[in-house]
Structure 1
Amino acid sequence: MKYGIVAFPSKPIQDEINSYRKRYDPHYALIPPHLTLKEEFEADDEKIENLITDLKHIANETEPFTINVNKVSTFAPVTNTIYLKVEPTQEMYDLSNKMHTGNFPDNRTYSFVPHITIAQNLSDDEYSDVYGSISMKDIQLDDTIDRFNLVYQLENGIWTVYETFVFGKEYV
């Protein structure tokens, strides 16, 4: 089964981000706005149970942190993906790095760039138009991240939460 690890912003922030995604992101209906901490990976039931134990330890050791989103950026020319840039913090990098060591598969395709995708799979013309208009918007979103989620992909492509890990909670 395919799994991933993400942090979801609060509902008001998701609503703001979805105002862009519903028009420009074909994955809008498949997963809410999120910060990807570990991209998708394959795991069987035994492997995922071992990783859940590790994720509980990571959550125990992690304090809530603030994210600041203040600009629109893009992965062009690699892909025509437009995203909201999440100002990087050491906490985010540490969290992502912990999810790529030990029992976790180190399956990084790209370097960790904290972001929330708002548009993807655009043609070159669409990309130019959308990026041109969205990049002029004044975006200032702040939120506190106090948990992350292990998600898995259903047969219809929708991602759903398998388990939520709250920071600082004493998991046993």
Structure 2
Amino acid sequence: MSTKYGIVIFPSKKLQDLANSYRKRYDPHYALIPPHVTLRSGFEASEEEIKELTETLHGIAKKHQPFQINASKISSFQPVNNVIYFKVEPTSQLEELHRELNDNIAGEAPEYNFVPHITIGQKLSNDEHSDVYGSLRMQPVNHEEVIDRFHLLYQLENGSWTVYETFRLGKE
């Protein structure tokens, strides 16, 4: 039986609290997963495959040093979909980690180009989306922090996500 997995970065509590102040109102997935940057979206794997994958992920984590992220503004994926998010400035370290993770996981390539972000609103109607985005996009977001780990999550039957294993960057 296969389970659904994903790989994410969880930002600091400060940035999560800020994201959650919006997500409570605008994101129906609010209760299912904390605010995060997706490095590899949902993929299916068996117990065996995940054991092998965790070995690979430890190897990848060792090769990458901790790096800084900067959440710079509130943006939207419209017209592709009605998702409102904190834009995380792409850096070579973040893009390299994303690429390597995706190159090492079987399954289909990600549906969209990698746009690092933390979702704060989704599944809004077109009208709601334009109202909410209209009022939020002027809010200043300027948050920098160092990321030193990423997480392999799995999905529970109720749709929520929980940490399977944590990988520290640059560490044995």
Shorter-chain TM-score range: over 0.9
1:49 to 42, 48, 51: 51
| Corresponding residue to 1:38 among 32, 40, 64 | 40
How many residue pairs get matched? Answer: 170
Q: Tell me which of 60, 63, 72 is aligned to 1:61.
A: 63
CA distance in 1, matches of 2:30, 2:4: 18
| Identity between Structure 1 and Structure 2 (%) | 58
* Cross-structure match for 1:145: 147
Aligned residue type for 1:109: E
Matches within 5 A, 1:6-155: 6-155=8-157
SS at match of 2:96: helix
Return 5+ residue gaps in structure 1 as ranges.
none
Deviation of 1:70 (Å):
1.2
Which secondary structure state, in structure 1, belongs to the residue aligned with residue 145 of structure 2?
strand
- Partner amino acid for 2:148? D
CA distance in 1, matches of 2:126, 2:103: 37
CA distance in 2 between counterparts of 1:119 and 1:93 reads 24
Alignment partner of 1:104: what SS?
coil
Provide TM-score, normalisation by structure 2. Answer: 0.96
CA distance, structure 1, for counterparts of residue 115 and residue 4 of structure 2:
21
- Cα deviation per residue 1:104-152 (whole Å; 9 max; x = unaligned)? 3343111110000000000011001100000011111111110000000
Shift of 1:46: 0.6
* Residues in 2 aligned to 1:60 and 1:118: alpha-carbon distance in whole angstroms: 31
CA contact (8 A) 1:41 1:105 kept: yes
The residue type equivalent to 1:107 in the other structure is A
Query: Matched residue of 1:99: which SS?
Result: helix
Aligned partner of 2:5 in structure 1 is: 3
* TM-score with structure 1 setting the length: 0.96
Q: CA deviation at 1:168?
A: 1.3
CA contact under 8 A between 1:41 and 1:107: conserved in structure 2? no
Stretches of 4+ aligned residues off by more than 4 angstroms: none
- Could you report, residue by residue, the CA deviation over 1:61-108 in whole angstroms, capped at 9, with x for unpaired residues? 111111111111111001011111000001111101111214533431
